[in-house]
Structure 1
Amino acid sequence: MRHIRTNGPRSRAAIAAATGLHKTTVSSLVEELLSRRLVRELGMDHSGAAGRPGRGIALSPHVGAVGIEVNVDYLAVHGSDLAGRTVYEHRTGFAGAGRDVERCLDEITAAAHRALTHLRDRGVAPIGVTVAVPGLIDVTRGVVVLAPNLGWHEVPIVDRLAHSLPDQLWIGVDNDANLAALAEHTSGVAAGTDDLVYLTGEVGVGAGVILGGRLLRGADGFCGEIGHMTVEPGGDVCGCGRTGCWETKVGLAELVRRVTPDAAYGLERGPLPDPQDRVAEVARRLAAGDRVARHAVTDVGTWLGLGSAILVNLFNPRTIVLGGYFAALAEHIIPAAQAALARRAVANPVSRCHFVASRLGFTAAARGGAGVVLDRVIEHPTTVSVPAPAAVVARVPGPLPTPAVPAPAVPVR
């Protein structure tokens, strides 16, 4: 299945030739995967070994997963199938900061149900849900340890969702930047780059770090909380309670406060504006030559480069992928950021490290959440079976083995 995912549809003979497996072994494995409906047969494949062409084997569009990103001001949901097709994608305003946790979880559950129903209606059997949250996550326990911008502390989100979603689903939670980094590494603008840093560009700022092709988690799984590193001692108070955090210089809330102070976060009346609408207003003012907007965005770029220099010196990435609003305003932010990075970081790594704008938008973490569930299917296909069209996925009891690439989807039954 990994071979097919990497190389695309192949005949049995072509798979055998490329992997070194015996033809009878490949045929046996393909037949089992066909019976589980995890792969499907296509038309004749003429690209394999010499001789009569065989039928191409491709990953199935009948198995899917859902990722949900919870943020301060929006919920993003993404559903995709094993074949890599986007089946469902939706983003809506979400007043997450300072609200009752139970009400927030109710909205997350409702969003999950809508996505799962959408997949089933299109003949895709969902096998799991992963929730992305900006904060410190205990992936093993399925607990949000601390999400300062949401005001969450020790929230058992996996257990809570397990009581409201179908029993056979895998349910997990992970840090939003980690999941976005995985999405970028597999299908984004930096796909295939084994050493990268992904920066979320939202009210909160976090980092997903991939080194040597693997997600860096740290001793407690809390790696990447770079938004709360101090860059200006004695500076503004951050949502975490400390002062001078990087987030207070480059977070979306700070940019909005400077460019549109009359529409700053916390002053809203009625539905919370979508972050993309806020960014569009900043972009409109930049296009109109607004000096305040230009200075604010340049300052963000400078501070972004200053903080990124620390990350470059620590991790020596090839690429720094800018997500969220950073990506939307990349043409205005990157020049100042690259210049500040060049001044602050060690010379040689900087010459080979550059900023790029994500193309996944504000749904990158949700996409990554769906992706890690599907990665588990690739790693452990014998745990999944889809016996009939639109059927519920059956699952063997007990926890799954740990896959080769750390995956945050936590089995709960």
Structure 2
Amino acid sequence: MFEWLDSLIRQTNPAVSVHPSPALRSLPTSQPADQAAVRRSNLALVLRHLGARGSRSRAGIAADTGLNKATVSSLVAELVERGLVREGEPHRAGSVGRPGRGVELDGRRVGGIGVEINVDYLTALVLDLTKTVLFEQRVALDVQALPPEEVLDAVAELTSRAVRECARRGVLPVGVTIAIPALVDVEGGVVAFAPNLHWRDVPVVRGMTDRLAGLLARYPMPVRMANDANLGALGEYAMGGVAGTPDLVYLAGEIGVGGGVIVGGRLLGGAEGFSGEIGHIQLDPAGPDCGCGRRGCWETLVGMAGMLRLAADADDPVSDPSLDLEQRMDMIRRRAETGDRRTLDALGKVGAGLGVGASILINVFNPGVVVLGGYFASLGPFLLGPMTAELRARVIAPDIGGCRVELSRLGFAAASRGGANVALEAVLDDPALVPLLSAARSSG
């Protein structure tokens, strides 16, 4: 179920071998279809290798991948013609005689689109293959107060803006990945249950493809959906401050709390793809009501809704979903920095609650890093002290099991970045999806 998500892990994991499999090398060369399949696989091999290792000479690529030099030269020439790699500076280190010219990932010609639907905002973001952000827009929207059809109308409009920006830049959009805080039927593209959105059995992918039909006719590309915290974990693994850490737990602090777990360099999806609902660990059976229908779930104690109940009155601007989320968190941070007692007490309770729940995860998974994302990252300096105190008291292994806590550098954009990066997998799997520059010029 998670093959298309997990392929991102394989792309960024430095431990993964870049040598072609014996099965690819041994395919018979007398079948044209087989030859085409081998070439596509080898194009992908070289493109991924350059993405993972940086600029390399053709000889270096041949040595690293096991392909012969003539094949590498032909593959590089095609990737250049597709606008996916470019010539770089000559490689001199360790060379004898004339240095080989370097080849490096270009990727400015294609874009992956990540879209996030959350309780009080929507986000759309476009990344190219070099992880450069080409477009990013977040709009405040009280999603839980609207019917799903109206929300999808707004999501389609925001996604259309991202596609139009790609067209303006001459970038080919190659996929859309939608992140949502929900139990997601990945294969069916259906939200099974989103407690904080009050959605059940909503066919999001079908709704989006219907709304984007005109754009998808012009730019054929897959539209997919996954849990936001899982995509956030993949985003952190691929391009965050702890990129490449093989064992990590990502905690997304939004209205609720989501979690993505990577174990041994693989996203933990579970038997049906529903893992990561850590916000619904029940810590206090007599606690506040949760959107899932139970009481005292972890997210009722440390989610943003719980934090705001402690820190501010209902009519306070920080509780206004029409305001931008980062603007609201800036208000909370300024109050804490100026010593507002109610704010500091609220953040102290949230930090301690984070430590209680995170200690369970550390005891179970023994991650190398716990990454605090979303609003946890925004207010992290006020949360880390009480959180660490609880971890030291509750984690069984000495020194918190070797785990450290880091604040996300991606913040509220982790899920949309992870989604955009996953969308780019189509090109990394098959670079031939991108037209040759000569063909594009003649058709234009």
CA offsets 1:253-284 (integer angstroms, 9 cap, x no match): 1111221114369974xx71222122111111
Assess, with a 3 A threshold, how the Cα gap between structure 1 residues 360 and 17 changes in structure 2: closer, same or farther: same
CA distance in 2, matches of 1:391, 1:125: 11
The match for 1:135 is 182
- CA offsets, 1:109-136, max 9 Å, x none? 0011101111221121111110000010
1:187 Cα deviation from its structure 2 partner = 0.8
Give runs of aligned pairs for residues 156-305 of structure 1, distance below 5 A: 156-165=203-212, 166-167=216-217, 168-263=220-315, 268=320, 272-305=322-355
Query: What is the alpha-carbon distance in structure 1 between the residues aligned to residue 424 and residue 120 of structure 2?
Result: 27
Residue of structure 1 in register with 2:100 after alignment: 54
Alignment identity in percent?
47
> Aligned letter for 2:206?
D
Partner of 2:378: 328
Question: Which amino acid is 2:304 matched to?
Answer: L
Q: Measured at CA, do residues 346 and 96 of structure 1 come closer, stay the same or move farther in structure 2, by a change above 3 Å?
A: same
8 Å CA contact 1:312, 1:349 repeated in 2 = no
- TM-fit CA distance, 1:338: 1.0
The residue identity in structure 2 corresponding to 1:387 is L
Is the 8 Å Cα contact of residues 14 and 47 (structure 1) preserved in structure 2? no
Q: Which residue of structure 1 lines up, in the alignment, with residue 133 of structure 2?
A: 86
Q: Which amino acid aligns with 2:301?
A: K
Q: 1:390 to 1:154 in 2, by over 3 A?
A: farther
Structure 1 runs not aligned, ≥5 long: 395-413
Q: Which runs of 4+ in 1 moved over 4 A?
A: 264-268, 389-392
Q: Residues of 2 paired with 1:390 and 1:266: CA distance?
A: 53
CA distance in 2, matches of 1:285, 1:377: 46
Return 226-235 or 257-266, whichever deviates more.
257-266
Give the structure 2 partner of residue 344 of structure 1. 394
The offset of 1:62, in angstroms, is 0.3
Q: Give 1:310's aligned residue.
A: 360
The residue identity in structure 2 corresponding to 1:385 is V
CA distance in 1, matches of 2:93, 2:319: 61
Aligned residue number for residue 405 of structure 1:
none
Deviates more, 1:200-209 or 1:58-67: 58-67
Which string of whole-angstrom CA distances, capped at 9 and with x for unpartnered residues, describes residues 117-164 of structure 1?
A: 112211211111100000101111111111111111111111111123
Residue by residue over 1:324-380, the C-alpha shift from the partner in whole angstroms, topping out at 9 and shown as x without a partner, is 110011111011111101111212371411211001111110000000111332233
My pick for the range that moved more, 199-208 or 6-15, is 6-15
Q: Indicate whether 1:40 and 2:92 are aligned.
A: no
Change (3 A) 1:93 1:335: same
Instruction: Say which one has the larger Rg.
Output: 2
Higher helix share: 2
Amino acid at match of 1:180: G
In the alignment, the residues of structure 1 paired with residue 407 and residue 423 of structure 2 have an alpha-carbon distance, to the nearest angstrom, of 25
Matched residue SS, 1:82: coil
Give the corresponding residue for 1:355: 405
CA RMSD of aligned residues (A): 2.1
Distance 1:13 1:306 in 2: 53
Contact 1:197 1:320 in 2 (8 A): yes
Matched residue SS, 1:200: strand
Alpha-carbon deviation of 1:6? Answer: 1.2
Q: Which residue of 2 aligns with 1:146?
A: 193
**Pairs within 5 Å for 1:374-389:** 374-382=424-432, 384-388=433-437
| Partner residue in 2 for 1:31 | 77
Asked whether the equivalents of residues 76 and 362 of structure 1 are also in contact (C-alpha less than 8 Å), the reply is: no
Distance 1:61 1:51, change over 3 A: farther
Residue 414 of structure 2 aligns with an amino acid whose one-letter code is: A
Asked whether the 8 Å contact 1:183–1:371 carries over to 2, the reply is yes
Q: Could you tell me which residue of structure 2 aligns to residue 68 of structure 1? A: 115
Matches of 1:126 and 1:374 in 2, distance apart? 9
Please tell me the residue identity of whatever aligns with 1:177: A
SS at match of 1:90: strand
> Is the contact between residue 175 and residue 426 of structure 2 (CA under 8 Å) also seen in structure 1?
no
Say whether the 8 Å CA contact 1:93–1:273 is kept in structure 2: yes
- Give the 3-state SS of the residue equivalent to 1:342 in structure 2: helix
2-side partners of 1:193 and 1:247: how far apart?
Answer: 26
Shift of the 48–70 alpha-carbon distance from structure 1 to 2, 3 Å rule, reads farther
Q: Is the 8 A contact 1:63 1:386 kept in 2?
A: no
Is the Cα–Cα contact under 8 Å of residues 45 and 55 in structure 1 kept in the other structure?
Answer: yes
Flag the 1:298–1:152 CA change in 2: closer, same or farther, 3 A: same
Task: Tell me if the contact between 1:256 and 1:265 (Cα under 8 Å) persists in the aligned partners.
Answer: no
Given residue 436 of structure 2, which amino acid in structure 1 is its aligned partner? Answer: P
Cα shift readout 1:35-93 (whole Å, capped 9, x = no counterpart): 33332333444357433233332222101111011100111221111122111111110
Pair 1:17 & 2:63 matched: yes
Contact 1:297 1:332 survives alignment (8 Å): yes
Secondary structure in 2 matching 1:32: helix
CA spacing shift, 1:46–1:62, aligned 2, 3 Å: farther
- AA matched with 2:351: G
Q: Which moved more, 1:367-376 or 1:15-24?
A: 15-24
Give secondary structure in 2 for the equivalent of 1:263: coil
Q: Which amino acid aligns with 1:118?
A: E
